[in-house]
Amino acid sequence: MKKIVTLLSVALLTGFTAFGQVEIRLFQSSAPVGNDISGTIYTVNVPHDSLVARTFNVKNVAASTLGLNIERYRITEVAGWTDGLCWGPNPDPNFEGHCYSAGQMLTNPWTNPHVSTIQPNAAGNLVVDIHTEGPGCGHYRYYVVQGSTRIDSIDVMVCSTLGIDEQQEEVGMTAYPNPANNQLTVNTTGNGGNYVLRITDVLGKVVYTEEAGAVKKVDVSDFKNGVYLVTVLEKGNLIQTRRVVVKH
- Residue 193: the pLDDT is 60
- Cβ(144)–Cβ(220) below 8 Å: no
- Residue 10: the pLDDT is 33
Same domain, 86 and 112: yes
Q: Is residue 3 part of a domain?
A: no
Alpha carbon distance, N-terminus to C-terminus of the chain: 64
Same domain, 108 and 226: no
Same domain, 156 and 179: no
Same domain, 202 and 141: no
- Residue 20: the pLDDT is 76
State the CB neighbour count (10 A cutoff) for residue 108.
Answer: 10
- Nearest-CA neighbor of 155 among 66, 44, 62? 44
- Residue 97: the pLDDT is 64
Domain total in the chain: 2
pTM for the whole thing? 0.73
Read off the CATH number of the domain in which 191 is found: 2.60.40.3080
As a whole number of angstroms, the distance between CA 246 and CA 248 comes to 7
Same domain, 144 and 189: no
pLDDT tens track of the chain, all 248 residues?
333 333 333 333 333 335 579 999 999 878 899 999 999 999 998 877 888 889 999 999 999 999 999 999 999 999 999 999 999 998 775 555 688 989 999 999 999 998 999 999 999 999 999 999 888 999 999 999 999 999 999 999 999 876 544 444 455 678 899 889 999 999 887 655 668 888 988 777 889 999 887 888 999 999 988 888 888 877 666 677 788 888 88
Same domain, 157 and 173: no
Read off the CATH number of the domain in which 107 is found: 2.60.40.10
- Residue 225: the pLDDT is 85
Same domain, 73 and 25: yes
Last residue of a domain, one of 141, 161, 181: 161
- Domain coverage including residue 206: 166-246
- Residue 2: the pLDDT is 35
